[in-house]
A and B are shown apart, each in its own frame.
Chain A
Amino acid sequence: MLAYIVRRLLIAVPTILLLIVASFFLMHFAPGGPFTSERPLPPAVLANIEARYGLDQPLWKQLWDYLYNIVVHFDFGPSFKFKDRDVNDIIAQGFPISLTYGSLSFLVATTVGVALGIAAAIKHNSWIDYLAVGLGIAAQALPNFIMGPILILTFTLWLGWLPGGGWNGGQWPYLIMPVIALATSYMGSIARITRSSMLEVLNSNFIRTARAKGLPTRTVIWRHALKPTLLPVVSYLGPVFVYVLTGSVFVDIYFSTGGLGQAYVGSALSRDYAVLLGVTILYGVLTVLVNLLTDLAYAWFDPKIRY
């Protein structure tokens, strides 16, 4: 197990390196640059600015310097758009926000989704099942950029219960709507996967054995059926976790939460090379780690899987 974790982390190093190199070149090959604008700068000024940020160097030299600074100084460079702020600052400011409402959304989506799915499967073809399936499909059809405006309309403009945006250090009135907006559609998918997985498990031979042994229904469900049911859910949860942790540009825009999602999309549009690369690396590292966690979780759910 330990050898497996070490091996996976070792493989992660070239993976992340490849990600950096590929993103670096893709970014530079995209037309335009951080300092192109509708009103062109005088060539002498442009050359000065580019020299300041090292953009006049050959690409391989820029890449080398970038990697060198990361490895030696853990410095992801200055932002090209925001003067006096570097990438480390921007991530340090935005990521905790995204992490907070993202992990809360993940918790809500998983618990409510799994609970709905299990209830539907146990009461298969009853009104509970139909209600859960209906809710699941409705939730799945409501991506966060639809949920955002609906929530603000309802709770801020009509009912006046919740503030329409802002972060305020993550106080709970400011958290509720971003969390719900982000969680809803994932919750729908999780409910549907859990339901169909549980139905399949309840039909399997070992559940028949458990019933034939005279075990009470709740033991059959919780002790025998739950773990195998969650196995396919876990493989869906891995990617969702990364996506949700890094926040969402729509949530950041609708609720002015100031998370990393907005910074990421903004940096791509304005060719803020350093910010874009920095956040991409963060996403990459998170993906690698969460994939490892998912694979380790499999071993807990299924004893056949051993590393």
Chain B
Amino acid sequence: MSLFSVKNLSVQFNTADGVVEAVKGISFDINPGECLGIVGESGSGKSQTFMAAMGLLPPAGQATGSAMLNGQEILNLPVNKLNQIRGDDVGMIFQDPLTALTPHLRIGQQMREVLQVHEGLQGSAARARCLEWLDRVRIPEAKRRLDQYPHELSGGMRQRVMIAMSMLCNPKLLIADEPTTALDVTVQADILDLMVRLQKDEGTAIALITHDMGVVARMCDRVQVMRLGQFVEAGETREIFRAPKHDYTKTLLAAMPRIDAGDAPKALEKVDEPLLKVDDVKVHFPIHVSGGLFGHKVPLKAVDGVSFDIRKGETLGVVGESGCGKSTLARAVLQLIEPSAGNVSWLGHPIVGLRRAELNKYRKDLQIVFQDPLASLDPRMTISASIAEPLKTYRPDLTERERKKLVAEMMERVGLKANMINRYPHELSGGQNQRVGIARAMINKPKLIICDEAVSALDVSIQAQIVELLRELQQEFGLSMIFISHDLSVVRAVSNRIMVLYLGRIVELGDGEVICSDPIHPYTKSLISAVPIPDPDVERSRTRLKLPGELPSPMDPKAALRFLPSRLAAGENDYVPLLSEVKPNHFVAEHDPLEAIMAKA
């Protein structure tokens, strides 16, 4: 008998624009101990299905149909009945661990109240159970964590706490709604490993809601592909990946970039005069720390001595985990933040410390596309006005008519319909807004575009379209790109060379294919091995290189030498690892042998 059985479930929302049907009569079963993947893009109704079953829909939502847990109907139960099931028979974890825990309650308090409500367990017995679970989700120093507040823990740790909390009463079903989407790739791999183990050891069934086919390949026994509130395809994971039947599943699989695809763009010829030359750039932010009557300031070294150059028509990928200084570097290159030290030169002219008017001459050629497409456009300007604005600055000689013509051409070029000219950003989708952002950056035909996580917030199929668009524009206008992303698969698909950053410093820089298939630095190796590959056979047979410890804070003075424990042992805390060319065009930062680093754990 199946553990969880949904029959003909529909979810409707009463909105100001009328009734919206988010889920349209779907049925599925989850068997005890299995992992079922529900895959779909944003708005497909995959989360709402489970929210409805658990009685967590917003007040405007209504659910009809049936959801049986262990043969008992749970759909639309009164709250007090549902409360006996939620947190006890069914545990839930959510996408954004940073906001999922109550900020003013200690970890221990939040965990204990689950035991109090469902098992009447209190005091030292409850504390012992919480400790046990924190240990089982491999949280270091579990005892100390019980008395900490959520903001004192990293995102990955908070997600572990969420998992521990939802597992406290040994639920039969764990609903995981995009549990790793907001996390760095190595942290994602850790969390997924943990969930696999819980599934095996505890026999917990997992409903994994995700948009990431790589995660599905690693985790799921069966898959349901969802689109526009309905299932389009269902089956064994291997079957779905080997022979997808529905067109949508095929599109979804084709859109997923693979890190092992082996078709990265080739490196360009080396030239004497690079377009952009970045020389030992540093960005240090003064951070106020308490201590003494007035406290004092210490520098946070967001970018700490980065040098590279970019040739005409080249794409340089920049990867690294959160806090490694990717975005700060981009802003420093464009002089949106003044670097604390170092130099940036554009076609041989230094642009650091220029006055605003002089800098503006260069800005015409240096453009940027930001991560959040909606937030980076002025909400009170129509999209055509946003696209036209750079023209007003740099081509004041144009007449109104000429400007409109250029805007219309550029909109058509990036795939925006002509009838959208008077739309506002909130009326467009994320993908369309990002096209606006690209059009705005491209309108003056710049020579370099920095894409700062430009496709990270988009669905995979949209992401693939935007990447394709950027590639075409690059071919057409011969422009150079700095492509910043935490997603190594995407970076590999577009970059001639890839630069790996760790806490503000370069650890490895080389040709894209070489970095992905034959990395040398331990950090790069661990990053690449953590990237999920959308192919169940490959993904499940891979071994992961797992470095000891969590991603350290940039404020930790010893963190910078994580890969040189020998220097730390010698007390040389300020030692700067050297970057040397180990093979032609392949630069690697100095590091101890892998065994020495692993032994530190």
Q: Beyond A3-B292, A7-B293, is A214–B83 a contact (Cβ under 8 Å)?
A: yes
B86 touches A211 (CB 8 A): yes
B117 touches A215 (CB 8 A): yes
Residues from chain B with a CB closer than 8 A to the CB of A204 are 99
Nearest-Cβ distance from residue B536 to partner chain A, whole angstroms: 30
Q: How far, in angstroms, from A302 to B104 measured CA to CA in the complex?
A: 6
Instruction: Render A198-229 as a binary contact track against B, CB cut-off 8 A, 1 for contact.
Output: 00000111101111111111010001100110
Q: Is A28 an interface residue (CB 8 A)?
A: no
Q: Beyond A205-B96, A303-B103, A304-B151, is A213–B56 a contact (Cβ under 8 Å)?
A: no
Residues from chain B with a CB closer than 8 A to the CB of A227 are 104
A304 touches B99 (CB 8 A): no
B104 touches A301 (CB 8 A): yes
| Contacting residues of chain B (68-103) with chain A, CB-CB under 8 angstroms | 79-80, 82-88, 91-92, 94, 96, 99-103
Residues from chain A with a CB closer than 8 A to the CB of B94 are 205, 208-209, 212
Q: How far, in angstroms, from A125 to B58 measured CA to CA in the complex?
A: 13
Of B92, B105, B151, B165, the contact of A223 (CB 8 Å cutoff) = B105
Residues from chain B with a CB closer than 8 A to the CB of A206 are 99-103
Q: How far, in angstroms, from A210 to B86 measured CA to CA in the complex?
A: 10
Q: How far, in angstroms, from A223 to B105 measured CA to CA in the complex?
A: 9
Q: Is A6 an interface residue (CB 8 A)?
A: yes
B85 touches A214 (CB 8 A): yes
Instruction: Render A102-131 as a binary contact track against B, CB cut-off 8 A, 1 for contact.
Output: 000000000000000000000011000000
Q: Is A74 an interface residue (CB 8 A)?
A: no
Query: Which residue on B lies nearest to A301, using beta carbons?
Result: B104
Query: Which residue on A lies nearest to B165, using beta carbons?
Result: A213
Instruction: Render A1-17 as a binary contact track against B, CB cut-off 8 A, 1 for contact.
Output: 00100110000000000
Q: Is B113 an interface residue (CB 8 A)?
A: yes
Residues from chain A with a CB closer than 8 A to the CB of B38 are none
Q: Is B493 an interface residue (CB 8 A)?
A: no
Nearest-Cβ distance from residue B90 to partner chain A, whole angstroms: 8
Q: Is B571 an interface residue (CB 8 A)?
A: no
B293 touches A6 (CB 8 A): yes
Q: Is A307 an interface residue (CB 8 A)?
A: yes
Q: How far, in angstroms, from A197 to B520 measured CA to CA in the complex?
A: 52
B294 touches A7 (CB 8 A): yes
Residues from chain A with a CB closer than 8 A to the CB of B103 are 206, 228, 302-304
Residues from chain A with a CB closer than 8 A to the CB of B54 are 212
Of B80, B91, B102, B149, the contact of A224 (CB 8 Å cutoff) = B102
Q: Is B146 an interface residue (CB 8 A)?
A: no
Query: Which residue on A lies nearest to B51, using beta carbons?
Result: A208
Residues from chain A with a CB closer than 8 A to the CB of B87 are 212-215
Query: Which residue on A lies nearest to B92, using beta carbons?
Result: A212
Total number of residue pairs linking A and B with CB closer than 8 Å: 86
Query: Which residue on A lies nearest to B101, using beta carbons?
Result: A206
Q: Beyond A213-B87, A215-B117, is A125–B101 a contact (Cβ under 8 Å)?
A: no
Residues from chain B with a CB closer than 8 A to the CB of A125 are 59
Residues from chain B with a CB closer than 8 A to the CB of A303 are 103-104, 149, 151
| Contacting residues of chain B (365-410) with chain A, CB-CB under 8 angstroms | none
Nearest-Cβ distance from residue B16 to partner chain A, whole angstroms: 13
Q: Beyond A3-B292, A208-B56, A208-B94, is A214–B102 a contact (Cβ under 8 Å)?
A: no
Q: Is B118 an interface residue (CB 8 A)?
A: yes
Nearest-Cβ distance from residue B13 to partner chain A, whole angstroms: 14
Q: How far, in angstroms, from A211 to B96 measured CA to CA in the complex?
A: 16
B113 touches A213 (CB 8 A): yes
Q: How far, in angstroms, from A214 to B165 measured CA to CA in the complex?
A: 12
Q: Beyond A205-B96, A205-B100, is A211–B149 a contact (Cβ under 8 Å)?
A: no
Q: Is B162 an interface residue (CB 8 A)?
A: yes
Q: Is B215 an interface residue (CB 8 A)?
A: no
What class of interface size applies to chain A in its complex with B? Answer: 20 to 34
Residues from chain A with a CB closer than 8 A to the CB of B15 are none
Q: How far, in angstroms, from A271 to B58 measured CA to CA in the complex?
A: 60
A212 touches B104 (CB 8 A): no
Of A3, A6, A216, A223, the contact of B83 (CB 8 Å cutoff) = A216
B149 touches A213 (CB 8 A): no
Q: Is B543 an interface residue (CB 8 A)?
A: no
Query: Which residue on A lies nearest to B294, using beta carbons?
Result: A7
Nearest-Cβ distance from residue A57 to partner chain B, whole angstroms: 39
Q: Is B114 an interface residue (CB 8 A)?
A: yes
Instruction: Render A274-304 as a binary contact track against B, CB cut-off 8 A, 1 for contact.
Output: 0000000000000000000000000001111
A217 touches B79 (CB 8 A): yes
Query: Which residue on A lies nearest to B79, using beta carbons?
Result: A217
Nearest-Cβ distance from residue A205 to partner chain B, whole angstroms: 4
Residues from chain B with a CB closer than 8 A to the CB of A124 are 59
Residues from chain A with a CB closer than 8 A to the CB of B541 are none
A214 touches B86 (CB 8 A): yes
Q: Beyond A204-B99, A205-B96, A208-B94, is A213–B117 a contact (Cβ under 8 Å)?
A: yes
Query: Which residue on B lies nearest to A6, using beta carbons?
Result: B293
Q: Is B290 an interface residue (CB 8 A)?
A: yes
Residues from chain B with a CB closer than 8 A to the CB of A302 are 103-104
Q: How far, in angstroms, from A303 to B110 measured CA to CA in the complex?
A: 15
Residues from chain B with a CB closer than 8 A to the CB of A209 are 92, 94, 100-102, 162
Nearest-Cβ distance from residue B208 to partner chain A, whole angstroms: 16
Q: Beyond A3-B293, A205-B96, A205-B99, is A214–B118 a contact (Cβ under 8 Å)?
A: yes
Q: How far, in angstroms, from A223 to B102 measured CA to CA in the complex?
A: 9
Q: How far, in angstroms, from A124 to B60 measured CA to CA in the complex?
A: 11
Query: Which residue on A lies nearest to B91, using beta carbons?
Result: A212
Nearest-Cβ distance from residue A244 to partner chain B, whole angstroms: 27
A215 touches B113 (CB 8 A): yes
Q: How far, in angstroms, from A40 to B137 measured CA to CA in the complex?
A: 88
Q: How far, in angstroms, from A301 to B151 measured CA to CA in the complex?
A: 14
Nearest-Cβ distance from residue A216 to partner chain B, whole angstroms: 6
B102 touches A212 (CB 8 A): no
Nearest-Cβ distance from residue B204 to partner chain A, whole angstroms: 16
Q: How far, in angstroms, from A304 to B99 measured CA to CA in the complex?
A: 13
Q: How far, in angstroms, from A214 to B113 measured CA to CA in the complex?
A: 10
Instruction: Render A245-288 as a binary contact track against B, CB cut-off 8 A, 1 for contact.
Output: 00000000000000000000000000000000000000000000
Residues from chain B with a CB closer than 8 A to the CB of A210 are 102
Q: How far, in angstroms, from A217 to B151 measured CA to CA in the complex?
A: 25
Nearest-Cβ distance from residue A165 to partner chain B, whole angstroms: 45
Q: How far, in angstroms, from A210 to B83 measured CA to CA in the complex?
A: 10
Nearest-Cβ distance from residue B439 to partner chain A, whole angstroms: 34
Of A7, A205, A228, the contact of B104 (CB 8 Å cutoff) = A228
Nearest-Cβ distance from residue A292 to partner chain B, whole angstroms: 16
Q: Beyond A125-B59, A303-B149, A304-B149, is A214–B101 a contact (Cβ under 8 Å)?
A: no
Instruction: Render A28-51 as a binary contact track against B, CB cut-off 8 A, 1 for contact.
Output: 000000000000000000000000
Q: How far, in angstroms, from A302 to B105 measured CA to CA in the complex?
A: 9
Q: How far, in angstroms, from A216 to B165 measured CA to CA in the complex?
A: 17
Residues from chain B with a CB closer than 8 A to the CB of A211 are 56, 86
Residues from chain A with a CB closer than 8 A to the CB of B102 are 206, 209-210, 224
Residues from chain A with a CB closer than 8 A to the CB of B85 are 214
Instruction: Render B283-313 as a binary contact track against A, CB cut-off 8 A, 1 for contact.
Output: 0000000101110000000000000000000
Residues from chain B with a CB closer than 8 A to the CB of A205 are 94, 96, 99-100
Q: How far, in angstroms, from A265 to B196 measured CA to CA in the complex?
A: 73
Residues from chain B with a CB closer than 8 A to the CB of A6 are 293
Q: List 23 A-B contacts (CB under 8 A).
A: A6-B293, A7-B293, A7-B294, A205-B94, A205-B99, A206-B102, A208-B100, A209-B100, A209-B101, A212-B94, A213-B86, A213-B87, A214-B88, A214-B117, A215-B83, A215-B87, A216-B80, A219-B113, A223-B105, A228-B104, A302-B103, A303-B151, A304-B103
Question: Closest 6 CB pairs between A and B?
Answer: A214-B87, A214-B86, A213-B87, A205-B99, A212-B92, A214-B83
Excluding A212-B87, A214-B117, 12 further A-B contacts by CB distance (< 8 Å) are A7-B293, A205-B96, A206-B100, A208-B56, A212-B94, A213-B86, A214-B83, A214-B86, A214-B114, A303-B104, A304-B103, A304-B151
